[in-house]
Amino acid sequence: MKGTVLGDAGLHMAAADNVVTAIEDLDAGTEIPYDGTAVELDKAVPFGHKVALVPLEPGDVIIKYGETIGEAVEPISPGEWVHTHNCESRRGRGDRDVSDGEVA
């Protein structure tokens, strides 16, 4: 398997990633070890969805697979579910500025 499984709960695909992918349905309170501490889920997160490992502010990029896949549209706390309610995609967006190296 590519990546590292953290605490039998999340798949961390690349060292630069600021999210992990739930490898099963995770209950609120599940702890994911990260960077010498534990990130605790504030709510249940479905299998295959992302969980923030670090605090993110609006405009901060979401990194998965070592690539920018989106940006936060509201504050996101470590352990929070990262999905369409708090981030938006930056992939394949012809309406986005490509000055930061993105391919539109």
Per-residue pLDDT in tens (0 to 9) along the chain, 104 residues: 689 999 999 999 999 999 999 999 999 999 999 999 999 999 999 999 999 999 999 999 999 999 999 999 999 999 999 999 999 987 665 565 555 544 44
- The number of beta carbons lying within 10 Å of the beta carbon of residue 54 is 15
102 found inside a domain: no
What is the number of domains present in the chain?
1
What is the DSSP pairing of strand 4-6 with strand 31-34? unpaired
Longest dimension (CA), the chain: 40
56 found inside a domain: yes
Which residue range forms the structural domain that includes residue 33?
A: 4-89
What is the domain-level CATH number for residue 28?
Answer: 2.30.130.110
State the pLDDT at residue 89: 86
96 found inside a domain: no
State the pLDDT at residue 1: 60
103 found inside a domain: no
